[in-house]
Amino acid sequence: MTSVNGTSGSSDRQLEDPKTLRELVLNIPEGIYITTPEGGVVDANPALLELLGFDTLTALQQCTVADLCVNSESLKRERELLERNGLVRDFELDIRRPDGSIRTVLDTCYLVRDPETRSERLYGILIDITQRKEVELRLRRLLVRDPLTGCYNRRFLEDLEARLDRDGTALGAIVVDVDHFKRYNDEFGHAAGDAVLVKLARFLTRHARAEDAVIRIGGDEFLVVLLGDSVEATREIAQRYSEQAAASAPIPISLGWAVRGPSESVDSTVRRADQGLIRIRMQERGRHERRSRSGESPEAR
């Protein structure tokens, strides 16, 4: 600030006072640090110690920046930007505290060189965004989760297709559909229908592998996505689902399967799996009709 007569105002003089600046650094809620380019901690304010989970500066100085960062590749990218530009703004890092908990921070720092000694120091500030990231994660989960069953939804499938198109990962698709679900709803009510869909989702998830994704693609139709699976593996897994469903599924189901072909869209693969399900249903209907014409009761199935 400048006074009317052109002299520096008292607020400027106060801000330039080293004691004032020290008070600011000590009391500001964001973490402030000084490190060597190699990652050794030179100094830190109380807010940084609290953020990183250390009681004293001496304890923090036993670690390097690399010791604290969860992802070494992220730290490497930040250092490359710093060397190229002399500063980095709002670079996201995950920090592991001594108790094992993770904090997500935004790091802004710049490189300072002493003109006489040529020694270098990094001056920076860390802002804790852990809670914000947790809220963002919850919102993303809500966007890709079916509210009734907790399975993934079509939004997840669209995102997955975009990712698979980039890296060409193989995909197996098993489409699962409830037999005569409309009749079940009409007889027992929509609340009972919803309840059985939740139970079916749990059944599919329980028998899925960790790398598989169970998706509700609409109504009583579900999709189990198998990443990186061959034709044989998808056939075997579909057969296992069928056998397990006969023994313990909460309601009768039918399923069809397909494996993604070269350059095929995920949507096309799912349609082929659905066509397989329809063929199976037609075959079952044909067997049922033949038995009926021969006098065999449907209940004898």
Q: Round to whole Å and give the CA distance between 103 and 253.
A: 45
Instruction: Identify the DSSP state of 194.
Output: H
Element containing residue 68 per DSSP (H, E): helix 65-68
Structure tokens at 66: 């690399």
221-227 vs 41-44, strand pairing mode: unpaired
∠ CA 189-195-201, nearest 5°, is 135
The CA–CA distances, whole Å, from 6 to 1, 3, 124 equal: 9, 5, 33
The CA–CA distances, whole Å, from 18 to 23, 34, 142 equal: 9, 17, 49
Q: Phi and psi of 170, rounded to 5°?
A: -70, 155
Every domain of the chain and the residues it spans? 10-134, 145-300
30 near 50, Cβ under 8 Å? no
Q: Can you tell me the mean pLDDT for 289-293?
A: 41
225 near 257, Cβ under 8 Å? no
Q: Can you tell me whether residue 210 is helix, strand or coil?
A: coil
Q: Round to whole Å and give the CA distance between 178 and 251.
A: 7
Distance of CA 197 to the CA centre of its chain: 25
Q: Tell me what percent of the residues of the chain surpass a pLDDT of 70.
A: 85
Tell me which residue of 236, 223, 239 sits closest to 280, measured CA to CA: 239
Q: Can you tell me whether residue 288 is helix, strand or coil?
A: helix
Q: Can you tell me the mean pLDDT for 246-261?
A: 89
Q: What is the pLDDT of residue 229?
A: 66
> Does 76 score more than 80 pLDDT?
yes
Weakest-pLDDT range from 70-74, 147-151, 168-172, 206-210: 168-172
pLDDT in tens, 204-242: 999 888 888 999 998 999 999 998 767 778 889 899 898
**Using CB atoms within 10 A of its CB, is residue 143 exposed (0-12), middle (13-18) or buried (19+)?**
exposed
**What pTM does this model have?**
0.54
Report helix angle 181-188 to 190-207, nearest 10: 130
Number of residues in the chain? 301
Q: Round to whole Å and give the CA distance between 263 and 35.
A: 50
Tell me which residue of 53, 105, 51 sits closest to 74, measured CA to CA: 105
Which residue is listed with tokens 């023994």? Answer: 247
Q: Which amino acid is at 68?
A: L
Q: Can you tell me the mean pLDDT for 157-169?
A: 76
Which residue is listed with tokens 């169970």? Answer: 214
CATH architecture of structural domain 145-300: 2-Layer Sandwich (3.30)
Q: What is the pLDDT of residue 208?
A: 87
- Cα separation of the two ends of the chain: 91
Q: Which CATH class is domain 10-134?
A: alpha beta
Q: What is the pLDDT of residue 285?
A: 59
